Chains A and B, each alone.
Chain A
Amino acid sequence: MAVMDQSAAAKWRWSLIDLVVIVFALIPVLWITSLSFKTPATITDGNFIPREWTLENYRNIFSTDQFVRALINSIGIGLISTLVAVVLGTMAAYAIARLDFPGKKLLIGISLLIAMFPQVSLVSPLFEIERSIGLFDTWPGLILPYITFGLPLAIYTLSAFFRQIPWDLEKAAKMDGATQGEAFRRVIAPLAAPGVFTTAILVFIFCWNDFLFAISLTSTERSRTVPAALSFFQGASQFEDPTGAISAAAVIITVPIILFVLFFQRRIVSGLTSGAVKG
């Protein structure tokens, strides 16, 4: 009876803390959502909850296929870049964490260097290269830079996690009679999962939200992603900001992120606690 009270009390405590976290994280997001439902006349009345509701903004952004194209571009380019960056990063991180070879420190140093150099200077030369080899305004034209700038983060994150894995478990499993494949799948993979999925989320969000490369390396709807497309939204005149439309677009493009994170967040933690590590 006492035990049940304790865990009930614990549940209440955690619920309260959860609520605080959710409120702080989401109030500004709710503000954007509220802006997206306001009519043009009331959009600047400063009220948190709209006095007049409208779906006009949402209808507007879907009235042309400009936004839908941008969404498709963002999703496609984001997923491909994330996939490739995670794969390449995993391979490199495995080598860094487990193997010894000359040039290891150099590779780590160079990838950090690439992460550190201000991207604003790199955009123009990159543009010239892409233009001359015909990659300007194409999907690969964005995918390649995204992979490049996502790799340092991927490599560092993954090697940090791979170091923590007790690799001896693999040997132990094999000695217990498992094959190499089984040992990898049942023992190593679940331990590597937290790192891999964390990296995937971070790289995806980077690709999804990047603006600089998107605006500089694209020029038409063929490859323009959503953050860049927001700059092309028209207001009613040259000086009016299409706040309602931009807010609506922001709400919509957050949905894939929510789905992506919801899907992956369990796998980050499920690794160790799934019970694969026994005895």
Chain B
Amino acid sequence: MAERSRESRRRRRGVAALAAVALLGPTAAACGGGDDGGVPEINVYYAPEENFQQVVDDCNQQAQGRYRLAYQVLPRGADEQRVQMVRRLAAEDDGMDVLGLDVTWTAEFASAKWIREWTGQQKSEASQGTLQQPLESASYEGKLYAAPKNTNTQLLWYRSDLVPNPPKTWDEMIKMSQDLKSQGKPYEIDTMGAQYEGLVVLYNNMVASGGGKMLSDDGGKVEFDQGAVDALGTLQKFASAGVTNPSFTNTQEDGARLQFQSGSGAFQLNYPFVWPALQEGAPDLKDKVKWARYPGIDAGTPSKVTIGGYNLAVSSYSKHPAEAYEAALCLRSPEHQLFSAVNDGVPPTIESVYDDPKMDEAYPFKADILAQVKDGANRPITPAYQNLSTVLSATLSPPADIQPEQDAKELRGSIQDALESKGVLP
């Protein structure tokens, strides 16, 4: 099965490459917008997704000659994707039409006037049936700036042979892990703790689950209430309880996955991509691993987990905005979201897609994902989110050294500066 999927993946990639070349053929990518004999060319800048080219091809068919889509692949890393787009948008490049934006970039791009607002018919089409939290991530100052395409959220994965009942709170999980450790069994809680965005996500999970707030509701001022301070304490406790992997403070998503697959972990907090990877990479473990909802802070309150994902926006400098809106809506239509979910492992943002039986095999955990996304928490929505994230991750790292009261005071000042773009980023 793995062999066949790899074979077909390769074949599809070859076809994809050919298709891309064919589509790009007459386009002078340098000047962008090399329309071929009156048919507008719509350039879609999106992260590398193995089967996305097929979605693009399908939308080309549905366009029936009114426009032609070209899939321009962006680099693998989110930061690099942003850099590529920002550089060109800052230069008012008209060669980009549809942009694949990470959920945290909407406010920034909107504030810099790089993306267009969605209004009227397009807005209602993009919002219809879409889950609330992803929709909020695509909005800024009450206006919609993008159409949510896919979402993502972390789950708790655990070894059912070691842990009969999954924990519901952080305290419970830490205690279970410590018990396992004293029994000499695999005990680690593997998750991301390097000084990067993933650490902010981890912290945000704790803040949101505890009902805390980092920023005021309008995103303009820092609030950092008691919930946020308590979350600092929880994070510090987790990092110093002796239950993490030795490389915890240098671990990102793939690293955490590998740690868990190596067998030393009893728990893992990570995105669903680990599931198919586990099937392939650690076949001896796959029958012993189950999933559950991400742990919360209080036993009675279900956790609120950070959502990730991508939204599709239209560039302000696009020469064919009408076609671009249409293309974006097609690319994230329910049928295409189903296709991408099953083939590329990216959870949908339209609720009805979850009911489709085709989701069951690829997403045995779809119920948990849907529940978490419905309850989910966005990271603070502000144009200065990158600043905030950089400052926060620098203060939170290494988590074992956090001093809640002191760091909270410091953060109130440095986050406020970050929001106003004052001072120097670490």
Contact = CB atoms under 8 A, between A and B. Distances in A.
Task: Give yes or no for direct A-B contact (beta carbon below 8 Å).
Answer: yes
A240 B10 contact: no
Interface string B264-291: 0000000101001100111000000000
A124 interface: yes
A219 interface: yes
Q: Looking at B17, B74, B271, B276, which has the most chain A CB atoms within 10 Å of its CB?
A: B17
Contact of B280 (A41, A138, A222, A241): A41
B84 interface: yes
Q: Size band of the A side of the interface?
A: 35 or more
B4 interface: no
Interface residues of B, number: 45
- Of the candidates A56, A131, A239, the one having the most CB atoms from chain B within 10 angstroms of its own CB is A239
A234 B258 contact: no
B30 A134 contact: yes
Contacts of A124: 87, 90-91
B30 A136 contact: yes
Interface string A227-245: 0000111111111111000
Contacts of B88: 131, 219
A64 B277 contact: no
B218 to A, nearest CB: 31
A235 B73 CA distance: 14
Interface in A124-159: 124, 127-128, 131, 134-138
Contacts of B254: 235, 239-241
B80 A219 contact: no
Identify whether the interface residues of A are mostly helix, strand, loop, or mixed: loop
Contact of B80 (A137, A231, A237): A231
A211 to B, nearest CB: 11
A237 B51 CA distance: 11
A263 B318 CA distance: 50
Given A231-B80, A232-B75, A222 B29 contact: yes
Nearest to B308: A238
Given A41-B281, A64-B17, A232 B29 contact: no
Nearest to A128: B91
Interface in B87-125: 87-88, 90-91, 93, 95
A236 B47 contact: no
B14 interface: yes
Given A215-B80, A231-B76, A240-B254, 17 more contacts: A44-B262, A64-B13, A66-B17, A124-B91, A220-B24, A221-B21, A222-B29, A231-B77, A232-B48, A232-B74, A232-B76, A233-B76, A236-B276, A237-B273, A237-B276, A239-B271, A241-B254
In the A-B complex, list the 7 residue pairs whose CB atoms are closest, starting with the nearest: A239-B253, A64-B17, A237-B273, A231-B75, A234-B48, A220-B29, A63-B10
Interface of A: 40-41, 44, 56, 59-60, 63-66, 123-124, 127-128, 131, 134-138, 215-216, 219-222, 231-242
